[in-house]
Amino acid sequence: MDPLLDPITGDYAGGTTDTLANAVYLRLMTPLGGWWADPELGSRLHLLSRSKDSNQIDLLACQYAEQALQPLLRDGRARRVGVEAQRPGSGRLLLLVEVEEAGGQTRHFQHHVRIA
């Protein structure tokens, strides 16, 4: 198993990997096409840091996150993926990600996105 990545710092957290948590984290943090071995891995969320802060950004961020997490559905690790955006403050979005695993258990993740 791979070491667990801390979603806040991006550093290794030690212990064994929660593979679903790592998959969600890597797919949201990596710019789409930014990993040579898999050009489909990643998201377009990094593009939002150059966008103006508007209500459309919330919808766009949710769409980008859902697109990035689609491989989890295709490979059978998840049955359902849902993303909701919240505004904790100006210039920031908090994505609340809900993933229903293949076994039926629902997992919740949070992902922060900086916007201009």
Q: 107: domain CATH number?
A: 3.10.450.40
pLDDT, tens digit (0-9, with 9 covering 90-100), for 62-105: 999 999 999 999 989 899 999 999 988 778 899 999 999 988 99
Token digits of residue 66: 């859902």
pLDDT, tens digit (0-9, with 9 covering 90-100), for 79-91: 999 999 998 877 8
- Phi and psi, residue 103, nearest 5°: -80, -5
Domain encompassing residue 107: 4-114
Token digits of residue 8: 């806040």
- Angle between the 19-29 and 55-74 helix axes, to the nearest 10 degrees? 130
Work out how many domains the chain is built from and give that number.
Answer: 1
For the whole model, what pTM was predicted? 0.83
User: Which residue, among 51, 45, 53, has the nearest Cα to 83 in the 3D structure?
Assistant: 45
Contacts of 12 by beta carbon, 8 Å cutoff, 6+ apart:
3, 4, 5, 6
